[in-house]
Amino acid sequence: MDIDTVTGFRRARDRADLLLAPGERILGGGTWLFSEPQPEVTGLVDLTTMDWEPIVVRPDGGLEIAATCTIAELAAFGESTGRPLFAQCAHALLASWKIWHTATVGGNVCRSFAAAGMVALCVALDGVAHVWTPDGTDRRVPVAGLVTGNGTNALAPGEVLRALELPAHALAGRTGFRKIALAELGRSGAVLTGRVDAGGGCVFGITAATAAPSVLRYPALPGTGRLRADAGALPGYYTDPLGSADWRRQVSAVLLAEIHEELAA
């Protein structure tokens, strides 16, 4: 879609270029930005020209995923390194091949839709958002806490997501994944993830079914009865044309139990 209110365009080369004037917005892949009218936007600042390395493996084994890394780049990295959860969360998105190669990981997190597949990935792997603030300082916040609702987050005006950081201990864990949608090619109604670490601790994530990410942590795998009860007691399940709150609550409990069985095997 043409955004006919835009009268300015800048390519960012360094951090100072990301200080936004009134009406300016950051442009990553642009797959959502150009999907509907943006009457308040008068200028765009291209983030992709910062030329960040898409994925950096840290010395401790953790990962730094640039905000401008594409969904396709991340899925390919996961496949090449034996981490199926990367591609599974990417496939949870309602997106074409073309979108995969244009949409960015950071854009998916910053848009913060309940069914954001990259949010599901970060929730499962204890992802932390590295945020640049307009005053030149940095802050880090867990992605599970960054997303506050369906389409809302805790980013302040002018803040820019620099990268998503995944710790080594989470990447070394065993993972499970389930998703469900009312239509075969429809947006996910519930996306469930699970992870068991080497020390036995585990985490289960619920996204798409709740407006903001829901996380259940245990020092060891709980019984399936407790897991299902805890999932059912969580707040935040919502109703929209893609599923009722009661349906989302029930399928989340059932699919988490399947993940539990897989991880306990």
Whole-angstrom distance, CA of residue 143 vs CA of residue 156? 15
Q: How many CB atoms neighbour CB 182 within 10 A? A: 13
Whole-angstrom distance, CA of residue 219 vs CA of residue 199? 9
Whole-angstrom distance, CA of residue 191 vs CA of residue 148? 17
Whole-angstrom distance, CA of residue 3 vs CA of residue 27? 13
What integer pLDDT is reported at residue 55 of this predicted model? Answer: 98
Q: How confident is the model at residue 183 (pLDDT cuts 50, 70, 90)?
A: confident
Average pLDDT, the chain: 95
Share of the chain above pLDDT 70, in %: 99
What integer pLDDT is reported at residue 73 of this predicted model? Answer: 97
Residue 111 has pLDDT above 90, yes or no: yes
pTM value? 0.96
Reference 192, options 113, 89, 112; nearest CA is: 89
3-state secondary structure the chain: CCCCCCCEEEECCCHHHHCCCCCEEEECCCCCHHHCCCCCCCEEEECHHHCCCCEEECCCCCEEEECCCEHHHHHHHHHHCCCHHHHHHHHCCCCCHHHHCCCEHHHHHHHCCCCCHHHHHHHHCCCEEEEECCCCCEEEEEHHHHEEECCEECCCCCCEEEEEEECHHHHCCEEEEEEECCCCCCCCCEEEEEEECCCCCEEEEEECCECCCEEEEECCCCCHHHHHHHHHHCCCECCECCECHHHHHHHHHHHHHHHHHHHHC
Whole-angstrom distance, CA of residue 133 vs CA of residue 60? 26
**Domain 55-169 sits in CATH 1.10.3470.10:** no
Residue 244 has pLDDT above 80, yes or no: yes
> Are the C-beta atoms of 195 and 175 separated by less than 8 Å?
yes
Q: Averaged over 236-259, what is the pLDDT?
A: 97
Q: Give 115-151 pLDDT, tens digit per residue.
A: 999 999 999 999 999 999 999 999 999 999 999 999 9
Q: How confident is the model at residue 47 (pLDDT cuts 50, 70, 90)?
A: very high
What integer pLDDT is reported at residue 120 of this predicted model? Answer: 98
For the chain, what are the domain ranges? Answer: 8-46, 55-169, 171-264
Whole-angstrom distance, CA of residue 231 vs CA of residue 10? 46
Q: Among all chains, which residue has been given the structure tokens 């601790």?
A: 201
CATH of 171-264, one of 1.10.10.10, 3.30.390.50, 3.30.70.20, 3.30.310.50: 3.30.390.50
What integer pLDDT is reported at residue 4 of this predicted model? Answer: 87
- HSE-CB for 137 with a 13 A CA cutoff: 3
Residue 1 has pLDDT above 70, yes or no: no
Q: How confident is the model at residue 184 (pLDDT cuts 50, 70, 90)?
A: confident
> Are the C-beta atoms of 29 and 171 separated by less than 8 Å?
no
Q: How confident is the model at residue 16 (pLDDT cuts 50, 70, 90)?
A: very high
Q: Are strands 202-207 and 174-180 parallel, antiparallel or unpaired?
A: unpaired
